[in-house]
Structure 1
Amino acid sequence: MSLPLYIHGSSDVGRQRSQNEDSYRIGVQPDGSRLLVVCDGMGGHEAGEVASQVASDRLVEVLSTSAPDNPPRVLYEAFVAANQAVLEAAGTRGAPGMGTTGVIAWVMSSRCYVGWVGDSRLYQFRAGGLLDRTRDHTRVAQMVAHGILTADEARNHPDSHVLVQALGGSPGVQKSFKPEVWTEPLELRSGDVVLLCSDGLYDLIEDHELYPLIEGRDYQDAVTWLIQTANERGGTDNITVILLVAGQPEVPRRVMVPQEARRETLPDGMPMLAPVPTPEPTAHAPPVEPAAPVPAPRRREPTVPEMPAAPAEAVPSGNAGRRVPLWWLLATGILTMGVGIALGLGAGNTPSTPSTPPPPAPVQSTSLAVEVDGGTEQDAGVAQSGPPEGMGTPHTTPAPAPTGNSQATESGGK
């Protein structure tokens, strides 16, 4: 089922011109497609009017006799033919500066192919939002594109309507002549609005004002209201408007949808991307202070056998240098010698017994541990001592458990 299209167009001379140099066409092609054309003539008295009529007639003629196998290519060739027709008319009339702009919407069911030369525009709206708009072929538009001017500066610039491309026109304009045609069509949905117009409309009505002026109106009333508004604001130029509403005769009201960031979607067949790990603090970064003071974790050291302490050297006391009597030293030596002789004689008379070997030292296991944020991270290998391989399962003593509330921290975890 084809999408119904409601189309209406109108043109007005404005408040400050005596002649209307704009021209427009709305036609039904043999294949059932719709052709919408707006041209804005230039060149002074009568010349601009002739140029816009010659161009619009030639565009419709070429498109009506062409097969729509490649619509963008056909549109391009139609502009080339219209340009040649205007140049020939200018030579016949002796008006070398005669020329015109031109914008076309070729609508095939739900597809709309677009092409243009000059500064007449096409807009596409959906739910009140602007989806697409043609770009002007003017000197000021080029300066904005290259960052020489801002959009606000360009709006009131004296060269705002100096064309760099046109159908016909001066030799300088012809030197850069190249119609602009979108290779892909606009996709129309029910409720979409397509607006074609000359500069007499958008010079006096800003882009963001266009849809609020027509929302909720019948498609014919919307065209009338746009032209009336431009005239009320001065009507400084001819005003031409064509409006298309897809699927219904009324312009839909705006739908206030919150703007969201654009989300990219992985193409089909692409493997899912691994999550990006949260960066861990570097080894040299100071530890984060806890919210409440906690006891500092005890440092775990490798377990080693305790060795007996070496005898401490005698340290002279505060009475060092005090003399001991000689008789006391002699008596102490004789007494000590006697006791030693008595003990030696007693030991010689005691029968000998086999000595009992000392108990074996317990098997030691060493577990390497490194403190990480108050917890421990155990090494993968644990050094153990015990019987050789094949001589039974060695008995291992587990490493002492950490004290306090320390926890092991895994990569990526808390």
Structure 2
Amino acid sequence: MSLPLYIHGSSDVGRQRSQNEDSYRIGAQPDGSRLLVVCDGMGGHEAGEVASQVASDRLVEVLSASTPDNPPRALYEAFVAANQAVLEAVGTRGAPGMGTTGVLAWVMGSRCYVGWVGDSRLYQFREGGLIERTRDHTRVAQMIAHGILTAEEARNHPDSHVLVQALGGSPGVQKSFKPEVWTEPLELRSGDVVLLCSDGLYDFIEDHELYPLIEGRDYQDAVTRLIQTANERGGADNITVILLVAGQPEVPRAVKVPREARRETLPDGMPLLAPAPPVPAAPEEPAAPAPAPRRREPMAPVMPTPAAPAEAVSSGKAGRRVPLWWLLATGILTMGVGIALGLGAGHTPPEPSTPAPVQGTSSAVAVDGGTEQDAGVARSGPPEGMGTPHTPAPAPNGSPQVTESGGK
């Protein structure tokens, strides 16, 4: 589906000129494309008028006969042909210095190819904002480009309209003649506005004032409003305007984006002008939650570990075990008691009436709910029929044996 185009143009002599040297053309091509041309003649009276008419007619004629295979190249060749046509008119009419500017838009659906020579301009607006504008071929524009002048200083500079390029014109201008053509087209969207004009308009209306004057207006009324405003502000030159609105007959209202909405393009939660915080490096593993602070318990004395570690003995109290050092100390104490009892039993005289050998009794000691038992020392009584008993010899192993309840 093609994008509908609403186009209107008009030219006015202004308030201080007696003759209009501007000219414009709006042409429909057989392939459905449109040609928009604005030319601003120079050379005084009839010379300027003739130059602008000759140039605009020649531009349309050449492009109407060309194929749209390479629009930028076709535009360049059309300007070369228009320049030659003006130079021929100079020779015919005998008016040295006769020349004109020219700006052209070749609109093919949603594409707009642009070329120009001199200081007539083309603007493209979208949602009320200026997104494209041609560059003037003037001495002052060159000084701005090289940083010699600022835009404010150039505004009222005496050379502000001294051209360095034109169609026709003086030999000096012809020496640097080279049409400027954008190799890539403007892309048109519904609601876009394209404005072509001569310097009689923008000399009295600043770039930032253009769209507010026409927003919300019908495309034809918008052209009238621009010319009227330039005349109200002096109208010192001829004023020519062509306006194109894509997709609708009215110039859309400017989109006013609140400041807060612009923050959507910044990192979440960041103020508009705040510097970006440093981004922390991603941890290799997720950090474990910090453990709750725990109360430190006093540590028990560390005893040497025996070759075969003994198992802790249950104390009979739920949730608590007897320390190993306590078991070792208790075992040593029990051993000592057992030895003392054994030695005491060894010095007890046997009863005379008992002829059998006397067996030593073993002592048992309760240890924290368990039982530890020392093995008695075996002793032999005197042979039957013998006299006084003798002192028994110590056990061969020379040490008591200790058995822990529950041990292995």
Which bin holds the TM-score, normalised by the shorter protein? Answer: 0.5 to 0.7
Q: For 1:257 and 1:212, how far apart are their aligned partners in 2?
A: 16
Q: Name the structure 2 match of 1:291.
A: 287
Indicate conservation of the 8 Å contact 2:39/2:55, yes or no: yes
Could you say what secondary structure the match of 2:262 adopts?
A: coil
The verdict on how the C-alpha distance between 1:348 and 1:218 changes in structure 2, with shifts beyond 3 A counting, is same
Q: For 1:412 and 1:234, how far apart are their aligned partners in 2?
A: 119
Deviations 1:58-110 (A, max 9, x none): 00000000000000000000000000000010011111200000000000000
The verdict on how the C-alpha distance between 1:155 and 1:318 changes in structure 2, with shifts beyond 3 A counting, is same
Deviations 1:172-207 (A, max 9, x none): 000000000000000000000000000000000000
Q: For 1:95 and 1:381, how far apart are their aligned partners in 2?
A: 151
Indicate conservation of the 8 Å contact 2:310/2:407, yes or no: no
Is 1:38 aligned to residue 33 of structure 2?
A: no
Indicate conservation of the 8 Å contact 2:59/2:79, yes or no: yes
What's the CA shift for 1:257? Answer: 2.5
The verdict on how the C-alpha distance between 1:117 and 1:344 changes in structure 2, with shifts beyond 3 A counting, is same
Indicate conservation of the 8 Å contact 2:374/2:403, yes or no: no
* Rg larger in structure: 2
Q: For 1:411 and 1:148, how far apart are their aligned partners in 2?
A: 108
Identity of aligned residues (%): 90
Indicate conservation of the 8 Å contact 1:122/1:195, yes or no: yes
| Within-5 A mapping of 1:169-248 | 169-248=169-248
Q: Name the structure 2 match of 1:318.
A: 316
What's the CA shift for 1:293? Answer: 25
Output the aligned Cα RMSD.
Answer: 21.1
Could you say what secondary structure the match of 1:389 adopts?
A: coil
TM-score with structure 2 setting the length? 0.65
Indicate conservation of the 8 Å contact 1:54/1:85, yes or no: yes
What's the CA shift for 1:213? Answer: 0.1
Deviations 1:209-258 (A, max 9, x none): 00000000000000001000000001000000000000000000000135
Q: For 2:389 and 2:29, how far apart are their aligned partners in 1?
A: 95
After the TM superposition, list the runs of 4 or more consecutive aligned residues in structure 1 that deviate by more than 6 angstroms.
259-277, 285-356, 360-395, 397-414
Structure 1, 340-349 or 143-152: larger mean CA deviation? 340-349
The verdict on how the C-alpha distance between 1:324 and 1:213 changes in structure 2, with shifts beyond 3 A counting, is closer
The verdict on how the C-alpha distance between 1:200 and 1:316 changes in structure 2, with shifts beyond 3 A counting, is closer
Structure 1, 165-174 or 88-97: larger mean CA deviation? 88-97
Q: How many residues align?
A: 406
The verdict on how the C-alpha distance between 1:269 and 1:180 changes in structure 2, with shifts beyond 3 A counting, is farther
| Within-5 A mapping of 1:2-401 | 2-257=2-257
What's the CA shift for 1:321? Answer: 68
Indicate conservation of the 8 Å contact 1:104/1:116, yes or no: yes
Indicate conservation of the 8 Å contact 2:83/2:167, yes or no: yes
Structure 1, 133-142 or 365-374: larger mean CA deviation? 365-374
What's the CA shift for 1:44? Answer: 1.0
The verdict on how the C-alpha distance between 1:167 and 1:295 changes in structure 2, with shifts beyond 3 A counting, is same
What's the CA shift for 1:377? Answer: 51
Indicate conservation of the 8 Å contact 1:52/1:101, yes or no: yes
Indicate conservation of the 8 Å contact 2:245/2:251, yes or no: yes
Q: For 2:108 and 2:382, how far apart are their aligned partners in 1?
A: 90
Could you say what secondary structure the match of 1:104 adopts?
A: strand
What runs of 5+ residues in structure 2 fail to find an aligned partner? none
